[in-house]
A and B are shown apart, each in its own frame.
Chain A
């Protein structure tokens, strides 16, 4: 059973549908206690970091997610949900995140070559790190597999957690992270990444409480 956290940010239809499609039970909740007692958690999110972090805090979900992480409940942050796992973000100001992944979220503007479009929208191919090759959610993912991105900010300074990056004209951009314990994040949208994405969600649905040892 996968519990999708609803804190008023983003559209959960496709996430729910993708779990239904792969035959995994998924439920959406806005109850912090259901988060604390979940088997596995998805932290979704689109939009602005500051706004999402505020909603996470005011809904009581921030505390609940931290409690869940402490009790080693597998957690997958997707897109802005991944960015929220970081310590802080510099998206229009400075905002505090969950601090489950070391690093910060920074604008791609000024980082990727100025010939490149922002937002980055489209499919890019994953370069798995050594950690990525051992990452349980990438069990059925090959180096070079394509996944779908939509973002203007990226995770920086997260080398120790990095499981995959993508190339943006010679510049590596964080695609996925795996922190301490079963805390995972993908900058891309597995629920919009065709077969590859569905395989990632399937693998995540099998990560046991406590996670698997590296």
Chain B
């Protein structure tokens, strides 16, 4: 069986990981390259590098860091943040990204997904949506959750998948940062609407939250989180062992380090 994926997300600004990191066995705590390598060794199935830089200089540093990570980490790398043109795709793909996630860029230019999928393949294009309930409706927000676009989320995601997005990251702003569990209701609605893989984001606070996620919404393919991993509240090895014990298929392997 294709296993459920566990994906740590690294928010990077000016070349450093933003959310504080606290590993006693990791010296350079905010180095994206060191952290990526650490997670890969710990059993992460994939990594997301999210560029939250605003300046051109920061963007250049970001791609350098990405290339450095891709030279040392041999699991899939998804890059997001600041992707609004085909040349942004080119810029990060050339530096070792496998998939590129678009969010506000797709809202500003609805043809971006279709053109990127045509050029790089559906498997390369990820639609990432920040979604929040407004008047009983799932609403898409742009610019890092600042602007209500008025778009209904399930319809929007369906449209993006129809245009060629090969994967969906659904970030619930209602559960994000609360650490009270993933947004099962919102995830169910999206999983019922699309047939491509769906990655759940927002709300992970404990190992049990991941168990509940995969058990309650079988259509979800992966769980993404940032600070619970960075702060060491959830160890990926423990998480995978717990999922396996619950009969949820995950990648577990014997470390080949003698």
Residues of A bordering B, CB below 8 Å: 11, 13-14, 17-18, 20-21, 46-48, 116-125, 145-146, 148-152, 166-169, 191-199
Of chain A, the residue at the smallest CB distance from B254 is A142
User: Cβ of B121 and Cβ of A123 under 8 Å apart?
Assistant: no
Of chain B, the residue at the smallest CB distance from A196 is B253
User: Cβ of A121 and Cβ of B123 under 8 Å apart?
Assistant: yes
Size of the chain B interface, CB-CB below 8 angstroms: 34
Write out the residue numbers on chain A whose beta carbons fall within 8 Å of the beta carbon of B45: 122-123
User: Cβ of B74 and Cβ of A117 under 8 Å apart?
Assistant: no
Q: How far is the CB of B42 from chain A (nearest CB, A)?
A: 11
Q: How far is the CA of A20 from the CA of B167 in the complex (A)?
A: 30
Of chain B, the residue at the smallest CB distance from A121 is B197
For residue B40, CB closer than 8 A to chain A, the reply is: yes
For residue B196, CB closer than 8 A to chain A, the reply is: yes
Q: How far is the CA of A193 from the CA of B1 in the complex (A)?
A: 16
Write out the residue numbers on chain A whose beta carbons fall within 8 Å of the beta carbon of B122: 119, 152
Residues of B bordering A, CB below 8 Å: 1-5, 40, 45, 67, 70-72, 74-76, 93-96, 98, 120-124, 166-167, 195-197, 221-222, 251, 253, 256
Q: A11-B94, A146-B253 are in contact. Are A119 and B72 (CB under 8 A)?
A: no
User: Cβ of A117 and Cβ of B253 under 8 Å apart?
Assistant: no
Q: Specify the main secondary structure of chain A where it touches its partner.
A: mixed
Q: How far is the CB of B56 from chain A (nearest CB, A)?
A: 22
User: Cβ of B2 and Cβ of A47 under 8 Å apart?
Assistant: no
Of chain A, the residue at the smallest CB distance from B121 is A47
User: Cβ of B2 and Cβ of A121 under 8 Å apart?
Assistant: yes
User: Cβ of A13 and Cβ of B197 under 8 Å apart?
Assistant: no
Write out the residue numbers on chain B whose beta carbons fall within 8 Å of the beta carbon of A191: 74
Q: How far is the CA of A120 from the CA of B196 in the complex (A)?
A: 8
Write out the residue numbers on chain A whose beta carbons fall within 8 Å of the beta carbon of B4: 122
